[in-house]
Every structure is written in structure tokens, then in C-alpha cells.
Structure 1
Amino acid sequence: MPVEFLGIATTSDASETTAPTTAPVDLGYLERLVRAHEDNGWTRVLFAYGSGGLEPSALAGYIAGRLDTVELLLAHRPNVSYPTFAAKTFATLDQVSRGRLSVHFITGGSDHEQAREGDRLSKDERYARTREYIQIVKQAWTSAEPFDHHGQFYDFDDFVLDAKPFEGRSPTISFGGSSEAAYRVGAAEADIFAVWGEPLVNTAEQIARIHAEAAAAGRTTPPRIHAAFRPIIAPTEELAWEKAHRVIERIEARKAAAGPALARFAPAGPPQNAGSQRLLEIAAQGERFDTALWTATTKATGGLGNSNALVGTPETVAQALLAYYDLGVRIVSARGYDLLDDAIDFGRYVIPIVSEEVAKRDRERAAA
């Protein structure tokens, strides 16, 4: 099965290492960044969601009208919309993009961040709501007749979506998390289950758990697995590790420059979400794992989101990714620290190696 690659779509060049040099809303930069992905072998780009950020569906619609082939992954939090309205929004975007939309549902791993938009449910309640929400969206996409719904969180009558997604398809549903509730809900409802990049043994354990939960939910085909990393590549191993240590220096410099303002984005104290907790526990065990996994970036950022790096030459990083493919990972998220340049370099030098080796594996499997 071919491997897919996920990048990032954003209107600013700011990152953990880089102060913004663009305007906060630079649509020209957004288009250049997404075009760099489209031109260099990436499958899709993520339009992320944050309580104070731009509304991602508007940006996805903007890009859908300007680029022709790159797929669009829209992050969405169920607390910000009624599911019937969301189903309509997604169907519209899928029509505008001619069938290129996928949706990543975010349950929310931080009570503080959720409360910024009035969401005060407990974590378990949020996961239960997300499951009900996804089920309603799926039904709205496929039901030809009006339907009623009387659930724990949503109650309505006689809804039917007049304009379905493009050519009658159902956009791919993506879901992430590392808690017990996340495994249950995502394994039951999602087409793709996303995890942070961890050592191979830990990733294998997570995949086994997701597959077991999918089987328990009565699924014969489990979700495809998506793993996320921060690639740091250079022509030689020595240069790659020099670059990696400069990344840490730049992260620390950015943190120092941000000062008290950093607390808005990374509140004090340990993270609430299980995924970040797992990353920090692994980082406490050591800095280097397997072929190229490096946890120093996780320590430096406090386990904030996608933070474990893969360090080395393109060949080294590609071989590391192939080991994850052999475990069952089928989608790779690989956001660099210099967003535009790293998207181009990863697309030019890593994606072709991984894609060709995966095709070779598929040919050998077919022949066997």
C-alpha cells in the first residue's frame, strides 16, 4: 500500500525556532508553502486549529481554488459547531476542492485551551461528544432521507443534507490521541488514527492497541496509522547533528525572547494530554532511539504537540521511516522547523526514497 505524506499549511513562517518574518496573515506565503508541498511529492497539508487562530476552513477553501492536486486536511473541534452545520461545511469544501478534503477531529487535550471557547466538559465527556458528533456527520453525508437524532449531546429532527460531498464520497476522517478514551473512539470511528512519533517498540504497542479496539468495535478493517515527526536532514550525518543542536539553541532563544507571553501557548505545569505525557516519559529515558529518533526537541518544547525529531541524512531518515512503515504506519507527518525550506528538502530528498522502497516492498509482496 503506498505511503502518504502530510505537511502543514499556515499563513506565517513562525515556528518553535523562527520568529515570524511574514505578516500574521500572509496569503501569498500560504500559497507558496502549499505549492511547495504540491510540487514536491506531498499528499496533503494540514490546516490546523487553535482557539485564537484563523478559521481553517476559510483557508482551505482559499487554497482549494488555487491549487489542483494537493489534498486538504481540515482540523476541527466539535465544541465550536453543531454537527449538522459542520457536515454542510465539510461537504461544501469537498465540492469546492473536487473531492480533496479530509477532516481531522480534535477532541481537545487541554481543559484550559478548551475553556477559551466555552467548552467545560470533562475529558471523558469530550470523547463521548466527539463520537456522537462524528456519527452524525457520517450519517448526514450518506443519508438520502431526512433523519432525527436524540443523543446525549445533540438533539434534532428532520435533517437532510441537500448537497452531499463530491461525487457521493465520504471524506476521510482522521482522529488522534493516546488515552484510553481516544483509542476506543478513534478505533471505532476513524479512517485514520494519528499518533506522535515514538520509538518503534512503543509505536508497535500503540498500533496493536488500536487494532484491538477496532476489532472490539466490530471492524474488520482497522484505521490506517499516521505517525508524526520533525525531520532534521542534511547531506552528512555530522552536518545533520550540527543542525539538530542548532535547532535546540534556536528553540531556547525563542523561549527566552517570548518570556511571559509564552505562557499563553505553553502554560506552566505538565501537559494534560496523554500523547504529550508519553513523549516526555520517553524523553526522560534517553535522547536517541532506533535509527534516528531524537527526543531533545521534545524536552525543549515541553512535549508540546508533534515534537520528536528524526535526524540524519535523507537516506538515514528514509530508512527510519521505512521501519515505521514495516510496523504498519501508512501516513507520515513530517513538519520541519523552517517550514518552506524543509518542506522542499524533505520532498526532494526523502519522499522519493521512501516511496520507491515502499513500491518495491509492494511488488515483492505481490510476487510472493
Structure 2
Amino acid sequence: MKIFWFIPTHGDSRYLGTSEGARECSLDYLKQVASAADHLGYEGVLIPTGRSCEDPWVVASALLPVTQRLKFLVAVRPGLHQPSLAARMAATFDRLSGGRLLINLVTGGDQIELEGDGVYLNHTERYEQSAEFIRIWREILTRSHTGEPFDYQGKHLSVTGARLLYPPQQKPHPPVYFGGSSEAGHALAAEQVDTYLTWGEPPAEVAKKVADVRQRAAAQGREVSFGIRLHVIVRETEEQAWAAADALISRVDDETVARAQAVFARMDSEGQRRMAALHATGGKRSRADLEISPNLWAGVGLVRGGAGTALVGNPQQVAARIQAYADLGLDNFVLSGYPHLEEAYRFAELVFPLLPQRLRDGFSRPGLNGPLGEVVGNQYVPPVPRTSAS
């Protein structure tokens, strides 16, 4: 199991849909989040991409010096990047980071945003282009270890004599992550990627997607790993967790929800359509309306595109829901919470101790020797709490 956190390059706040309690997306703040994730033992961080975000490659490069082990899941965008340039960027970052790069292949789903970036392909054509892009990208990086050139003639992309002189540290190339809920997305995942990511749908729906991609990959003699993208709202008691969920959307008005949903509705992303279907918006705000599966809450998706669901509950409940997804074959968990700095600590402190010992060992980080917690009465060291995890 690999637990990831999130770098909020599109902004961060205590309340969704408002500037109240908002935080500036400064380099200093992003460094704090990345350093916390690195120190706490998260596997890596996802850096989002799109018009509403700071550029992920620039941000990832800026965060390298303040981290030691943290991996960076960084986007490549067919149509915005050329595969040869993306391969050089990936190899350079992977070498300079000591092998800490992961690649997020993003096809895009907002036609208006895509046209603003000069991409005029429809949904089908974008997936065709993405398949060609990642095929070329992978081959250039793989051949860089032997120095062989690569030729490719495709419908959307072609290269002649493509060559990379500085290979990546990871062989044959940094792992490729990808999420797509359409049939074209599943086909691309089965053929090309290393890890398929789904947004946080109920377990039964996630199981269907895993089974389909796994079957498609097996038919091509491949194996694909799986992961899920979720928000988390964990507190010491279930009542406190649901109160925090209510507070997160307490400043959102109906006009803001309607404007956000209008943008999401225009997208041709099947994943976004599935996210929107999880909450019949219509002004609904209560837990009964938005808890779509035990401890799975769709409130975030009222105003946030992409990942719109959160696991809500006490530590034992959240750990149990994570285990339920793991039992379906998912081993990559890309998590986030508002605000991202505090919630990185809260999740690690409350949930990491409940994970199996073999997983907790991976979260341990070398540090200074000394007592944990504040010394009591100037002389008594607080005892280390026992855990029931095995």
C-alpha cells in the first residue's frame, strides 16, 4: 500500500467555495505541505494540472530541495507537451531527484479550457493522441539506456530519430499513472500505463472498473496496479468528523454551486459525469443527501471538479474503508484534506497507526533521538500509546 498526499496548487482553504479562511498559494506554503508529507512518511504527492493551477513541473522542481524521499506525481499533457520534450523533462527531473518522479498522464476533459490551450481534438481523438504520446514517451526513455534512436508514424504524432542522451534513473522509465472512466480510458490504461487511478466512487463501482481494466490488460499480457483519489475528513470521533464535513461546505451558497455545476456539465469527461451523478445537487447539503456509501461523502464535488468525494469518520472507520478498497486490489491511495497542511498531520497521526505493521514500517523516518510529546513536569517522558493494529 502506498499513501500519497496532495500539493494544493489551485488554492487551499478551511471552507469550500469562499475566500473566508483561504490561504495564499505561495511557495512558502507549498514548501510547508511538501515538507510535512515528506517528514510524516507519505509515499509521494500529487501535483494537479490545468488552467486553475500553478504549473506542476515548476512547482515540483521548486519542492525538490526541501524534501528528501518524497516522490512527485507530475502531469504530462498530450497536445501541450510534445513526447520528446516530455521525455527529456522526465529524465532530467528523475536524475536530479534521485529517482523520485512519477508521471500522471492527463488527457483533459474541459473542451473550453483545452481550446484555450490550443487543443481542438474531440474526446475520441484526444485518447488516440494520448495513446500515441505515451507510446512514444515510453519508448524514447526505454531506449535511452542503450542509446538507440526511435521512429514512429502515428495519426496524431510522429517522430524520426528521436533520441535521449541522458537516461532517467528509474528503469526503464518513471512509472506512469492514469485515470479515465470511459471505454477509451480503460483501453488506454490496459495497454499503456503502470497504475490506473479512479476517483472515489462506492466500492461496488470501483470493483467494476478494476475488473474491466484488469481483464483488458491480461488480454494483452500485461498487469496493471490500481489506485484511488480521495479526500479525507478524519477526527477522533465520528460526530466530530461529520461536523467538520458540514463546516467545510457551510459557506457555500446555491449560486456558487450552480455556477460550478454548469462548468462541470459542459465537460466531456466520463469521470466528471460520474462524480456529478453522485450528488443530486439541487441545493442539497445534508449528510443524508451526500453520504453515498458508508463514510463516503460527495459534498466536496458540489464546487470542486475532479475528485469530489471524501472518506468521513473516526480513525477506525476511515482505516476500515481504506482496507475495503485495498481488498478490491487497490494499493495506491492519493489523499487530501482541507487545509492540506493540518490535515496531512491529522491523517498521519490518527490513521497511520491503524494500518498493518508491514505498512507502518514504511512510514517510519529516521529522526532525532528523544522523547515523543512534551515532557511532563520537567522530568516525566510521556509513554508511547499502544495500538491494536497488527
Q: Do they fold alike, i.e. is TM over 0.5?
A: yes
* Partner Cα distance (1:351, 1:228) in 2: 17
Amino acid at match of 1:322: Q
User: What secondary structure sits across from 1:86 in the alignment?
Assistant: helix
* Partner Cα distance (1:18, 1:319) in 2: 32
Amino acid at match of 2:5: G
Cα distance, 1:246 vs. partner?
1.2
1:28 aligns with 2:24: no
Deviations 1:295-328 (A, max 9, x none): 2333x22x72111111111111111110110111
2:275 and 2:307 in contact (8 A); partners too = no
Alignment partner of 1:280 out of 276, 279, 283: 276
1:43 aligns with 2:43: yes
The residue that corresponds to 2:341 in the other structure is 340
The residue that corresponds to 1:108 in the other structure is 108
Amino acid at match of 1:275: G
Amino acid at match of 1:128: E
- The structure with the greater share of residues assigned to helix is 1
* Partner Cα distance (1:239, 1:64) in 2: 36
Cα distance, 1:28 vs. partner?
1.0
The residue that corresponds to 2:137 in the other structure is 137
The residue that corresponds to 2:119 in the other structure is 119
Cα distance, 1:101 vs. partner?
0.1
Q: From the superposition, tell whether residues 297 and 48 of structure 1 become closer, same or farther in structure 2 (CA, over 3 Å).
A: closer
The residue that corresponds to 1:147 in the other structure is 150
Q: Which runs of 4+ in 1 moved over 6 A?
A: none
Deviations 1:79-122 (A, max 9, x none): 11111011000100001110000000101112112111010101
Alignment partner of 1:156 out of 135, 159, 162: 159
1:267 aligns with 2:263: yes
User: Unaligned regions of 5+ residues in structure 1, if any?
Assistant: 361-368
* Partner Cα distance (1:241, 1:359) in 2: 27
* Partner Cα distance (2:219, 2:18) in 1: 44
Amino acid at match of 2:305: L
User: Unaligned regions of 5+ residues in structure 2, if any?
Assistant: 281-287, 362-390
* Partner Cα distance (2:17, 2:257) in 1: 15
Work out the percentage of aligned pairs sharing the same amino acid: 30
The residue that corresponds to 2:192 in the other structure is 189
What are the residue-to-residue correspondences of 1:1-368 with 2, within 5 Å? 3-11=1-9, 13-15=11-13, 16=16, 19=19, 21-24=22-25, 26-51=26-51, 53-143=53-143, 144-166=147-169, 168-219=171-222, 221=223, 223-250=224-251, 252-253=252-253, 267=263, 269=265, 271-284=267-280, 287-298=290-301, 300-301=302-303, 304-356=305-357
Amino acid at match of 2:175: T
User: What secondary structure sits across from 1:249 in the alignment?
Assistant: coil
* Partner Cα distance (2:337, 2:140) in 1: 37
2:141 and 2:173 in contact (8 A); partners too = yes
Cα distance, 1:281 vs. partner?
2.6
Q: From the superposition, tell whether residues 293 and 129 of structure 1 become closer, same or farther in structure 2 (CA, over 3 Å).
A: same
Using structure 1 for the length normalisation, give the TM-score.
0.87
Cα distance, 1:233 vs. partner?
1.3
* Partner Cα distance (1:216, 1:286) in 2: 40
User: Which protein has the larger Cα radius of gyration, Structure 1 or Structure 2?
Assistant: 2
1:18 and 1:338 in contact (8 A); partners too = no
Deviations 1:12-59 (A, max 9, x none): 7525356375444x1111110101111122111112111353221111
* Partner Cα distance (2:22, 2:35) in 1: 19
1:12 and 1:22 in contact (8 A); partners too = no
Using structure 2 for the length normalisation, give the TM-score.
0.83
* Partner Cα distance (1:61, 1:42) in 2: 18
- Which structure has more relative contact order (CA 8 Å, sep 6+)? It is 1
1:13 and 1:338 in contact (8 A); partners too = no
* Partner Cα distance (2:315, 2:262) in 1: 31
